[in-house]
Structure 1
């Protein structure tokens, strides 16, 4: 073994030992031993004999650490068979793993059916067999993908990895398989975790039901009965045991209520002696989802069978004593495994289907397509230039026809782009003119020509929208007092000048208040004020009156003008168009009467 090969071997050996400590238990049905990657990596990095020796050393070490012998024996066989096929026929690991899996899975499936008598255990073994072979397929696929991608990245250029030319068809083949299977793997993981959560929640419901039953039974007891129960009355304890047994029924569940010293105060009828049962539990592992519940699993807890033989242990308090509720998970695990089994079968089918599709795609897609892709990519950029896109040279008739058609498309697109550019420029100019004309027409249609205030049409439209939205606002009617006298004395021209100045003063208020003024006709104006409080209306009314207290100049003469104001509030005074207008109009005439009365 050369020095570089020795370093690879030692690094892989060390990596396998380290990853052995970082096994991933995704859920009760999904266990991923990370060191599973190391023998497959060895087939890519080392020669076959070194990969077999490495796998054998790791297997011997892990068997001494307590791993199942059959698992590592199968792993050594896998590495040898897949390695021989890979070295002899090259291609990729995934292809030969697929071929080997079809044979190995079929043999494993038949062996489970022949050797396992229990239907429940048979299902669990089938799930484990499926998980094993699916894991081997995924690891092989992922290894091939990494060895295609990583050497192309700058960060990995210096690694001692053999850099073979990357074929486009191989990328397509790997991509099809990875994209097809990865979502299903993620869905299976999520579904498995969800099923585990549902199962544990079901056990929580059982615990809550037991606690409710015991609480109800104890609450029925008077102080004398509780005292007799505390000192060990066989009759009272028997009644409580009977309640517990009715709750358990025929299920494999055991309840122990302990004294403060740890002795059994009371237990369900079918429960073993607590010391004997506790010795059984000391041989497994503990998984604790929360503070009040933990799960005991046989062996290392890495397989569905470990969960099948496990218990959910819930802690509760009964008669101020610690109580432990043990629920056998066998039936629940079998029920959940049925769904996981079908997910695994579906995943195997997807693996095989994607493999076939990948093979077909690999044979159909040709290297010259890259040239066609480059040509198609250049067409949008070349449209702004007069130079035609370069046609890639090819001897394949179909690709040549496609290239010629793309060249025609390129020529037509450049001509169309030039025409469209000119047309677009003209359209932009026309559109700008039309927009300006539309804005001008809208302004003319919705604004008063004399004061440039919004007119009656825009006022009605705005008021209806605010009523439909149920906004809170105040509606003001304004009418200039004695405006007719101004027209009679100075003439209509000066009257129009006065109306313009009134409009200017009203518009100045729009910058200070959330208000909009409108001119209805003649000397009649209206305003819509957005309001949050009644004080807003009072303050605005006062400001509005003050606005007209300043002298107006008409034909060079000072003229004092006053205004009569009517008011209605939405929704206090009404919630319809007619109600608000009527109340504001009446209020304005009342104000006008008061003003004339003062005069």
Structure 2
């Protein structure tokens, strides 16, 4: 479960990263209109990974892009988009493209209500907001269409099948619908883009012509000036300023063009901005976004985000020289942006109409052509069940002759399949029984190979396998301990109680070890006879000594067998990895040596095992 959850989190982070990158590296088209693959990703996630996954992905992406200043406030509209489209898709099915029209309708309804109740707010920029809304809805519809097509057709590519957790059915009607819609809309979007590019290019050309005309007038003025005029100009004579200003005012006329002459101290020496009482702050133009359109002219936007609103507030700035001073031609590009928006609004409305008509025709074609195929699919998909239940096969004729003949052929084959299914079922039942026996035998063999039959503790083979794995370079632990345990005077138990009593003692002793194992980081194994070994996953000597003391306290607890109370003792040898060895043989040898030293010490001091016969 933890591995599956970790895989899901990794997948979510990967898709979130790709979505943010797609949002960052959006393809700029015209005037703040960008083409991003991010909407396709989070819409496709609804179908591939589920509604909750897609909603969480969109929320995180929106927060990240807004926090990193690589998006705008409209990025949060994608949350509403996923919420509406995902809800309808989850509950009603069909496809994302169909429900994207429902989302578009809701957005348009909300927008019209805003226009109705707050018309005074939108009056100044009605054309611009209309364009932004139409462009956003069109982009959403097209992204939903592309997401549907990716989810439908990518699973057909062998290398991409692993990307999809669930397999979605692809119907013939869907293919026809996609062909109709895509072939109708894609050329129209290309036309819109080409037309917008042409408008943008014409606007830049117009600015360049204005720049050239200003430069020619200034050069003509310089040619007309004699030495006295130039001297007056350099002395900032008001009369000379007035003459130059009259030329510049004649050039700007009643347009929104502004001309500023800047001296060597970066102060405004002369300007045509008679309507404004305050001079512009040219320092602000050091920030924002700059797009060069000719060697001495550029477009300046107040923000690097390059949204349509930024373009509306942007300026064309052309720089030339008049004698020893700089001359700036500044033209607001808001009128050009509005002209573009006004020109493309009709195209976008037409594109939405074409999308809707294509959707209706696609649904109609899907109904006419796909119903027969769907009926055939439903009948044949249940064919194995009918064969198994020995039900009569029934095919209802359709309006398409080819499908009717196909159904009749299937009906003929069904009778033969029923007999085959009955025979296969008998063979399958026999095979299942044999398989279950094989699995049971394999399980018993595994248990015999890895566990001691008397104590049910892991055996010597399991111990060797586990230590070898711990010593493996890929999973090597920094430090662990092997504890060798040998029961003292166990032979006396066998002599006193017999081998059956000795076996019972070993079982009870192993049961104590298992109980001790539940609360401590230790695993016990039986090597042979009265020899046991433990792997302890502790790192410090103090911790190991404390654990061994607890283990000794458990071992010396009396055990009652056949009314005989037996008090056990054991000799213990401890080996630290890697301090006492780096191989299994070295570790076992060290622990075994210490254990025998302790056993010899016990033997020299006293007999640690006592037997006491209880009185009835």
TM bin (shorter chain): 0.5 to 0.7
- Cα 1:54–1:157 change in 2 (3 A) is closer
For 1:260 and 1:70, locate their aligned partners in 2 and report how far apart those are by CA, in whole Å: 41
- Residue 317 of structure 1 and its aligned partner are, at CA, apart by 2.0
Question: CA RMSD for the aligned pairs?
Answer: 2.8
SS in 2 for 1:312: strand
Once the two structures are superposed, what CA deviation does each residue of 1:443-467 show, in whole Å capped at 9, x if it has no partner? xxxxxxxxxxxxxxxxxxxxxxxxx
8 Å Cα contact 1:256-1:274 kept in structure 2: no
- 1:70-81 equivalent positions in 2, closer than 5 A: 70-81=73-84
Tell me, in whole angstroms, the C-alpha distance in 2 between the residues paired with 1:400 and 1:51: 42
Partner of 1:316: 320
Aligned to 2:89: 86
Deviation track 1:58-84 (CA, whole Å, cap 9, x = no partner) reads 222223234677524422122122111
Give 1:396's aligned residue.
Answer: 398
Could you give the per-residue CA deviations for residues 135-163 of structure 1, whole angstroms, max 9, x where no partner exists?
Answer: 11111100101111111123323334422
1:209 is the counterpart of 2:213:
yes
Q: Distance in 1 between matches of 2:41 and 2:269?
A: 53
Counterpart residue number, 1:288: 292
8 Å contact from structure 2 (residues 289, 306) kept in 1: no
Partner of 2:262: 258
Match of 2:600 in 1: none
CA positional deviation for 1:362: 1.0
Unaligned residue ranges in structure 2 (runs of 5+): 375-394, 407-616
How much has 1:95 moved relative to structure 2? 0.8
Map of 1:447-526 to 2, 5 A cutoff?
A: none
1:44 is displaced (CA, Å) by: 2.0
The residue correspondences of 1:163-174 to structure 2 (distance < 5 A) are: 163-174=167-178
Secondary structure of 1:365's counterpart equals helix
Task: Say yes or no: does 1:51 pair with 2:16.
Answer: no
Q: Secondary structure at the match of 1:57?
A: helix
40 and 154 in structure 1: CA distance in 2 versus 1, 3 angstrom threshold: same
CA distance in 2, matches of 1:113, 1:250: 34
**In structure 2, distance between residues paired with 1:394 and 1:204:** 73
Question: What is aligned with 1:588?
Answer: none
* 2:102 alignment counterpart: 99
User: Taking structure 1 as reference, are residues 269 and 90 closer, same or farther at Cα in structure 2, changes over 3 Å only?
Assistant: closer
Cα deviation 1:300-350 (Å, max 9, x = unaligned) = 453332222110001112224332111111222222221011111111111
Does the 8 Å contact 1:30/1:189 carry over to 2?
Answer: no
Instruction: Output the CA distance in 2 between the equivalents of 1:271 and 1:292.
Output: 26
SS across alignment from 1:262: coil
Alpha-carbon spacing, 1:48–1:155, altered in 2? closer, same or farther (3 Å): same
Q: Residues 8 and 45 of structure 1 are in contact (CA less than 8 Å); yes or no, is this contact kept in structure 2? A: no
Task: Count how many residue pairs are aligned between Structure 1 and Structure 2.
Answer: 382
Match for residue 129 of structure 1?
Answer: 133
Q: State the alpha-carbon separation in 2 of the partners of residues 111 and 345 from structure 1.
A: 19
> Map of 1:151-300 to 2, 5 A cutoff?
151-270=155-274, 276-300=280-304
Residues 298-337 of structure 1 correspond to what in structure 2 (within 5 A)? 298-300=302-304, 302-337=306-341
1:365 to 363, 366, 369: 369
C-alpha distance 290-209 of structure 1, shift in aligned 2 (>3 A): closer
Q: Distance in 2 between matches of 1:262 and 1:77?
A: 49
CA-to-aligned-CA distance 1:221-257 (integer Å, 9 cap, x gap)? 2222122212222101111011101211222222222
- With normalisation by structure 1, the TM-score equals 0.59
Q: 1:65 to 1:29 in 2, by over 3 A?
A: closer
Match of 1:31 among 34, 57, 66: 34
Partners in 2 of 1:86 and 1:341 — Cα distance?
Answer: 30
Residues 524-572 of structure 1: CA distance to partner in whole angstroms, max 9, x if unpaired?
Answer: xxxxxxxxxxxxxxxxxxxxxxxxxxxxxxxxxxxxxxxxxxxxxxxxx
Aligned to 1:16: 19
Q: In structure 2, what is the equivalent of residue 356 of structure 1? A: 360
* Contact 2:70/2:305 (<8 A) preserved: no
SS of aligned partner of 2:195: helix
What is the rounded CA distance, in whole Å, between the counterparts of 2:107 and 2:267 in structure 1? 53
Q: 1:273 to 1:231 in 2, by over 3 A?
A: farther
Q: Distance in 1 between matches of 2:126 and 2:268?
A: 37
Is the 8 Å Cα contact of residues 298 and 310 (structure 1) preserved in structure 2? yes
Give the superposition deviation at 1:115: 2.7
